[in-house]
Structure 1
Amino acid sequence: MANRITVNICGEDYTLVAEENTAYMEQVASLVDKKMTEIIAGAKVGRGDAAVLAAVNLADELLKSEQTAENLRRQVKSYLDEAAQAKNEASELKRQLYKAQQQGRK
């Protein structure tokens, strides 16, 4: 069921409707409000331009985060592959040791 919440972003009320809970939606709105407020204060631009610049900044952060996450996934996969290879090598060495011990007893 969709949740409906009214939030204030840069002095304007917006009604958001989403599946996420209201606390999450408030967090999202707060982030947008913060970004827009920073842009308006720093660049002396209007709300429309601030909204576009905030969207660009947030999209940039999103893409960089996704790239970082993908790099971490690749690194973890590499570590897992190395661990599997080491495990296989250890198993082979144990097998060879057992075989050598059996031959030494003959």
Structure 2
Amino acid sequence: MGAYTLSEHKTRTTVDIYGQQYSIVGTESISHIRLVASIVDEKMREINGKNSNLDISKLAVLTAVNVVHDYIKLKDEYDMLEKELKKKG
């Protein structure tokens, strides 16, 4: 996986997700971009293990739905904890 700096704030790196190479440009660190890619890859493989007949497009959409579901649950928990802290403070 190659990586190089485009400018002071953007980095391009190549990652492997579900057997496909993707060139990703972002402002986060290369290690962060690779971590995100590895989590997406892991989630796709997990879902494919349960539904091996899905084509790649449906697998990608199901992965996105699952990840957003997890994000919303975590955001709701965070918001609830933040409200509790404000009540105590």
Pairwise same-fold verdict (TM > 0.5): yes
Paired residues, number: 80
- Percent identity between matched residues is 32
Superposed CA offset, 1:50-76 (max 9, x none):
110110000001111110000000000
Structure having greater relative contact order (Cα 8 Å, sep ≥ 6): 2
Whichever residue aligns with residue 62 of structure 1, its letter is: Y
Aligned mates of 1:46, 1:9 — CA distance in 2: 15
Displacement over 3 Å in runs of 4+: none
Q: Which runs of 5+ in 1 are unaligned?
A: 81-106
TM, length-normalised to structure 2? 0.87
| Structure 1 residue 41: Cα displacement | 1.7
- Pick the structure with more helix per residue: 1
| 2:59 aligned residue (50, 58, 62) | 50
1:85-96 matched pairs, under 5 angstroms? none
Larger Rg: 1
Superposed CA offset, 1:6-35 (max 9, x none):
000010000000000000000000000000
